């Protein structure tokens, strides 16, 4: 089968670190470790696994961060992945083979595979406390070396190892517990958005909006737009301001329920002055025009992942407010003073879990499908670009430069 594979060549990596400024396209070549290869289809790791034929594989911001060398060279995330990686964790596919312990009714069904390689998937018994609580996005065994009956390598999900394959390949494998049936009324183009919308919805459910009147969504990419949609789907009636850069996103922000789309000036003092005016918070300035607000938003969702974004999110949150870190970022070179000085609650939001909502337990993927089917979470049109697998370089080029192409979600199309 054909699969997009990433494997770092140290010399090539360092070369591209400098060459990318003259030739950005080097990042999507074999020199940087990315190639479309003919590989053997992954075998079923255990009897309760299935094989899935990929229909669409969505390019996530984390995929762009890996290929675009946005993560630090010593990122701790390397301990939770194994190279070579058969990339791709956002998916929709069709079950084509079932193990002896899996019911034949799964054959031929369209599914979204929840990609997390948690204790249940790995066959670890007993599961870690987080998995026992249904919080499998926080599993303690992602980095384990082949423990459990499935003997999986260190990896947080499909797409970060070569044992399970990934959604940038023609087929991949999944544990029965990862299978989420796609409702008949949901198109492939809508279903491929399940994972990013689930990440956004999980972030919203991680925060306490009981007394919140105004929130800020920092970043209007796929995750930021998903946070807006999830807030309204969860019946948040307060004000939603959104910070972004590209003009074309204004219509998406308003369509999904945002109240105002802010394209801020470049100077940091001027940026904070705009937020101060909107929130009524006094603007204070330290040496070298370093700004700080005395007040701000009740809840802020950080959906960019850059040091500037996280620093500004911390500064623009009111005392004892909440900052949800949703994007993939390292936090290096961030001014942490507002956390202790303003007694902020900083919340990490990674992936999905069994959500507790209205007295019931439901998987984040299933909840996304339920909200989409009910018309409360409208993802129509958010898949803006699709490419054949052989066009992966163009696909990543668009995903890396979304503004220039007015892109929201980019996917590889195996149909």
Residue 73: per-residue pLDDT: 81
pLDDT for residue 279: 97
Q: Give the pLDDT confidence score for residue 77 in this predicted structure.
A: 85
Res. 100 pLDDT band, cuts 50 70 90? very high
**CA-based Rg of the chain, rounded to a whole angstrom?**
21
How does the average pLDDT of the chain come out, rounded?
A: 96
Model confidence at 76: pLDDT above 90: no
pLDDT of 304 > 90? The answer is yes
Mean pLDDT across the stretch 319-330? 93
Q: How far apart are CA 250 and CA 269, in angstroms?
A: 24
Q: What is the pTM of this model?
A: 0.96
CATH architecture of the region 198-348: 3-Layer(aba) Sandwich (3.40)
The CATH classification number of 2-193+380-413 equals: 3.90.180.10
The rounded percent of the chain whose pLDDT value lies above 70 is: 100
Query: Tens digits of per-residue pLDDT, 398-411?
Result: 999 999 999 999 99
Q: What is the 3-state secondary structure (H, E, C) of the chain?
A: CEEEEECCCHHHHHHHHHHCCCCHHHHHCHHHCEEEEECCCCCCCCCCEEEEEEEEEECCHHHHHHHCCCCCCCCHHHHHCCCCEECCCEEEEEEEEECCCCCHHHCCCEEEECCECCHHHHCCCCCCHHHHCCCHHHCCCCCCCCCCCCCCCCCCECCCCCCCCCCCECEEEEEHHHEEECCCCCCHHHHCCHHHHHHHHHHHHHCCCCCCCEEEEECCCHHHHHHHHHHHHCCCCCEEEEECCCCCHHHHHHHHCCCEEECCCCCHHHHHHHHHHHHCCCEEECHHHCEEECCCEEEEEECCCCHHHHHHHHHCEEEEEEEEECCCCCCCCCCCHHHHHCCCEEEECCCCCEEEECCEEEEHHHHHHHHHHCCCCCCCCCEEEEECHHHHHHHHHHHHCHHHHCCCEEEEECC
Grade residue 379 by pLDDT with cuts at 50, 70 and 90.
confident
Task: Quote the pLDDT of residue 228.
Answer: 98
Task: Provide the 10 A C-beta neighbour count for residue 394.
Answer: 14
221/111 Cα distance (integer angstroms): 25
Sheet holding 317-325, edge to edge: 260-262, 239-243, 214-218, 297-302, 317-325, 345-348
Q: Which residues lie below 8 Å from residue 363, measured CB to CB, with a gap of 6+? A: 114, 180, 352, 353, 354, 355
What's the whole-number mean pLDDT along residues 288-311?
A: 95
Confidence band of 378 (pLDDT split at 50, 70, 90): confident
C-beta of residue 329 within 8 angstroms of C-beta of residue 308 = no
Contact 202, 349 (CB under 8 A): yes
**Residue 321 pLDDT level (bands cut at 50, 70, 90):** very high
**At residue 344, does pLDDT exceed 80?**
yes
Q: What is the pLDDT of residue 71?
A: 83
CA angle 66, 49, 113 (to 5 degrees): 45
- Give the domain ranges of the chain: 2-193+380-413, 198-348
Write down the pLDDT at residue 177.
98
Query: How do residues 16-69 score in pLDDT, each as one tens digit?
Result: 999 999 999 999 999 999 999 999 999 999 999 999 999 999 999 999 999 999
């Amino acid at each position: 089968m054909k699969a997009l594979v990433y494997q770092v060549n140290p010399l090539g990596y360092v070369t591209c670190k400098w060459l990318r400024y003259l030739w950005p396209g080097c990042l999507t070549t074999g020199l940087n470790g990315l190639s479309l290869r003919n590989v053997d289809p992954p075998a079923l790791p255990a009897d309760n696994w299935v094989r899935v034929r990929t229909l669409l594989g969505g390019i996530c911001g984390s995929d762009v961060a890996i290929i675009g060398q946005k993560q630090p060279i010593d990122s701790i995330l390397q301990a939770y992945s194994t190279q070579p990686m058969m990339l791709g964790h956002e998916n929709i596919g069709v079950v084509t083979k079932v193990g002896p312990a899996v019911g034949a009714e799964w054959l031929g069904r369209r599914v979204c595979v929840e990609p997390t390689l948690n204790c249940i998937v790995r066959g670890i018994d007993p599961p870690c406390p987080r998995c026992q609580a249904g919080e499998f996005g926080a599993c303690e065994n992602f980095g384990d070396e082949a423990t459990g009956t499935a003997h999986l390598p260190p990896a947080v999900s499909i797409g970060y190892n070569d044992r399970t394959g990934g959604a940038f390949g023609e087929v991949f494998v999944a544990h029965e517990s990862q299978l989420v049936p796609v409702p008949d009324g949901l198109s492939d183009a809508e279903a491929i958005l399940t994972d990013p919308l689930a990440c956004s919805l999980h972030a919203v459910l991680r925060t306490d909006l009981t007394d919140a009147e105004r929130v800020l969504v920092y970043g209007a990419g796929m995750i930021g737009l998903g946070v807006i949609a999830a807030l309204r789907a969860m019946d948040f009636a307060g004000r939603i301001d959104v910070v972004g850069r590209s003009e074309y996103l204004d219509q998406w922000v308003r369509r999904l329920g945002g109240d105002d789309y802010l394209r801020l000036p470049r100077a940091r003092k001027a940026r904070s002055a705009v937020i101060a005016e909107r929130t009524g918070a006094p603007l204070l300035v330290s040496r070298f025009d370093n700004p700080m607000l005395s007040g701000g938003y009740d809840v802020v969702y950080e959906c960019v992942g850059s040091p500037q974004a996280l620093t500004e999110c911390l500064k623009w949150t009111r005392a004892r407010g909440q900052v949800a870190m949703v994007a993939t970022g390292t936090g290096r070179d961030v001014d942490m003073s507002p956390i202790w000085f303003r007694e902020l609650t900083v919340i990490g939001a990674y992936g999905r879990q069994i959500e507790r909502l209205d007295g019931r337990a439901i998987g984040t993927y299933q909840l996304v499908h339920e909200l989409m089917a009910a018309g409360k979470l409208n993802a129509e049109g958010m898949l803006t670009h699709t490419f054949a697998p052989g066009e992966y370089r163009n696909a990543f080029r668009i995903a890396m430069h979304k503004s220039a192409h007015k892109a929201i979600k980019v996917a590889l199309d195996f149909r």
